[in-house]
Structure 1
Amino acid sequence: MLRLILLSLLLTAVVTGQKGRRERECSVIKAGYQFSFDLYNELASNNTGANIFFSPYSISTATSMLMLGTDGKTEIELRSFLRHGICNHESMRIHLANKYISKLIAEPVADMSLTVANRLFPDTKFNLYANYTQKSAEFYGSAVESIDFKGQHELSRKTINDWIAERTNDKIQNMLPAGSITPMTEIVLANAIYFKGTWKTKFNPRSTTDGLFHIDENTATFIPMMRTKAKFTYATNALFSIIEMPYIGDAASMVIVLPRDRFGLSSIEKMLDGNYLRALTQYGGKTEVSVTLPKFTMTFSANLEDTYQSMGVESIFSTGADFGRMTDSEDFFISNIRHKAFIEVNEEGTEAAAATTLTGARTLSRSPNFICDHPFIFYIVHKKTNVILFLGRYVTPTK
């Protein structure tokens, strides 16, 4: 009897644990959808009339790695930025959910490449807590590669750029431009993601012909248009139609939201709810659809400091940031956040890559105040000979 009771308790604990993990994962996914479209709208408003393309996963993963090393107000801001306010879990449970999600993403699928890599690049003299590096490795698989920002900042920049290029199949080049790494740089947190998938239903290249693409009410141009016909998950309402086109293996798909009004994109952008779209594709029925899709290649890059700030993140950009779980380095702050992305869509499938870097730096030690608001003496010296060339005093303001 006792054994039966113990077995029953054990099974209950296992089921409860699995349920808790699913709930955490679900909450993080919901947050991810909300974050993705909130970030989309922010980038869209800053790039009026222009293409945008980015990896929400790359940005959120790099930011989560940073959040792992924060505490207090700084951690709260990053949680809010990533939209984790919709889940009431403590931060460590969010990192556990991220770990589980990344494990699923890493599972191999035939005819599809999907790799995500994270790395910490601290300066050789930067005091990075062992507990932080251990947890970063545990939750995000991020190795640590110490480099000499102080003595060889240009070589350090090349090392990071080469790492990103290698992990994105050379699609993301020169991620950190010249001058972006200085002797004041303390650490770079980097994420790289690469994807290549083959359409489950390919487009026949012989069906690709030039078609008219309407840019706005006054502008249209001919571009290569691919065509196919098959059963896809499809739904429509008064504002837009949505279609999901899977890649071989069904581990990934492209979802396209098409406004019903030819020039109605801007009117629906801010109304879009990522979790509503997710529901449409999860529960929508399969319908035979004739698809016409542009064949295109696109690149996009952005510095995201202003974007983070407009979405509520302030403290990481000042020396008042709380990185108490990462380092005891004083005057440490995030000086730059960069994102770069690439996509090519053709008859065979899709190739895409992106990278995100968060650069941490330090300021010079706070100096004593030196305010020349009363009479003073001054001189000019020739340094090599130590001869005073000019000498004087300043007692009263002159014109």
Structure 2
Amino acid sequence: MNVAISLCLILVGLCTITQGHHDGDTHNGTSVAALKLHPSTVHFALELYKELSSASPGKNILFSPIIISAAFSLLSLGAKSATHTQILEGLSFNLTNIQEKEIHNGLHDLLSALTHSDNEIKLDIGQALFVREQLKLLPEFLDHVNAHYTADILPAKFQEPKEAEKQINDYVEKKTHGKIMDLVKDLAPETALVIISYILFQGNWEKPFDPQWTREEDFFVDQNTTVRVPMMQRMGWFHYYFDEELSCVVVRLDYSGTAKAFFVLPDAGKSEQLEKALSEEVLAKWAEKVQRNTAQVHLPKFNMSTSYELKEPLKKLGITDVFSDHADLSGITDQPLKVSKVTHKAVLALDEKGTVAAAAGAVEAMPMSMPPTIRFNHPFLGFIVRNNVVLFAAKIVDPSES
């Protein structure tokens, strides 16, 4: 079982300052509104990836761009003036080409499509708002939230921080099946609103790796650091592409169902060049160019957990006012609010397992000539994708770190 879990939390505190219906048109099962968002969601994923990579050189990276986008899009329903524009443009939505209604309709349809119509994978996505007792949310804001997002709205005693922390942490632990615990710590008594957005993905490889072939191998973290990791391996048919222009190889592994994982291995010394070149066009090229052929693939087995404070990376993307005393969240309540903290936690476990049926049919006819060996034994990138949506983006620098 391959498990990926991610959660975004936005703390909205009181500022201490002295002054519905969706378009039913679809294309191949995806609504037109959702299709219109795809370029923006991919662009945001890559821009945030670059910011996190730049801020944490030499560190593992794992995050879910779609739930960060969902959490801030929900927040934007109560934002006005420059705060409102900065949030949506910071999420890579071009407000000249797309109307705000289309953004929320599209996200509603996108999230709905992601969590339905595939019995082979488990994908849960949801939002929750924990609201300070006695804080009255404006009816128009609540109407918009209920129309566009499936969100639980729950009262919380933020004036009793420990009690509120337990309430939120219990909720998160239940929704992530115990994978994310103690998300909230040191809540400020003046906290007014906590917005949580979570995603839980569980899937099986369509063609699993056989655990008996997993071996300890060297993984070269950098020029000075080598670690031993359990390396899965399989010889057979894969979809892959050698991108000579960007000096990397792209391997696509399919899950049972409609989700796919792309693993991108840059040539030695080419990681920085590859990251700078990442774009929607590059990801689209890789998805189109991978071809089915034989190979022997070695891929680390790992269990990764990451945690980020996203305020500074999001500021770099242009979302600034919402974190300051200039925040205009007057569409949420008549009291002045600003965002004090954005926490994102993610967990990814990658292993050999697949379905019993797939394991029973693991023998494949192979050409007589020896296929190429693709060995993921130095830092590489990973993307889990469904319906052209990047569910998770990762950089595996040291798979031995949990």
TM-score w.r.t. structure 1 length? 0.78
Distance change (3 Å), C-alpha of 1:147 and 1:280: same
* Deviant stretches of 4+, over 3 Å: 15-19, 21-24
The alpha-carbon deviation at position 18 of structure 1 amounts to 4.4
Answering whether residue 116 of structure 2 is matched by residue 110 of structure 1, we say: no
Answer yes or no: is the 8 Å Cα contact 1:235–1:241 preserved in 2: yes
Answering whether residue 241 of structure 2 is matched by residue 241 of structure 1, we say: no
Answer yes or no: is the 8 Å Cα contact 1:196–1:349 preserved in 2: no
Indicate the SS of the match to 1:85.
Answer: coil
Structure-to-structure mapping, 1:210-359, within 5 angstroms: 210-238=216-244, 239-249=247-257, 251-259=258-266, 261-282=267-288, 284-330=290-336, 332-348=337-353
Distance change (3 Å), C-alpha of 1:326 and 1:256: same
Hey, what does 1:65 align to over in structure 2? 74
Distance 1:71 1:176 in 2: 28
Distance 1:133 1:53 in 2: 32
Answer yes or no: is the 8 Å Cα contact 1:233–1:281 preserved in 2: no
Indicate the SS of the match to 2:63.
Answer: coil
Distance change (3 Å), C-alpha of 1:255 and 1:334: same
Distance 2:347 2:341 in 1: 20
Structure-to-structure mapping, 1:199-214, within 5 angstroms: 199-214=205-220
Structure-to-structure mapping, 1:1-399, within 5 angstroms: 17-18=25-26, 22-85=31-94, 88-150=97-159, 152-177=160-185, 179=186, 181-238=187-244, 239-249=247-257, 251-259=258-266, 261-282=267-288, 284-330=290-336, 332-348=337-353
The alpha-carbon deviation at position 147 of structure 1 amounts to 1.4
CA RMSD of aligned residues (A): 2.2
- Structure with the larger helix share: 1
Distance 2:55 2:199 in 1: 24
The alpha-carbon deviation at position 108 of structure 1 amounts to 4.6
Which structure has more relative contact order (CA 8 Å, sep 6+)? It is 2
Distance 1:69 1:78 in 2: 11
Q: Is 296-305 or 77-86 further displaced after alignment?
A: 77-86
Answer yes or no: is the 8 Å Cα contact 2:25–2:32 preserved in 1: no
Answer yes or no: is the 8 Å Cα contact 2:230–2:300 preserved in 1: yes
Letter in 2 for 1:291: V
Distance 2:108 2:127 in 1: 12
How many residues end up aligned between the 2 structures?
A: 332
TM-score w.r.t. structure 2 length? 0.78
Indicate the SS of the match to 1:325.
Answer: coil
The alpha-carbon deviation at position 289 of structure 1 amounts to 2.6
Letter in 2 for 1:132: F
Q: Which runs of 5+ in 2 are unaligned?
A: 1-22, 356-383, 385-390, 393-402
% identical aligned pairs:
27
Deviations 1:35-70 (A, max 9, x none): 111101100111111111111112111111111211
Answer yes or no: is the 8 Å Cα contact 1:137–1:143 preserved in 2: no
Answer yes or no: is the 8 Å Cα contact 2:70–2:197 preserved in 1: yes
Distance 1:284 1:297 in 2: 27
Letter in 1 for 2:254: P
The alpha-carbon deviation at position 292 of structure 1 amounts to 0.7
Q: Which runs of 5+ in 1 are unaligned?
A: 1-14, 355-399
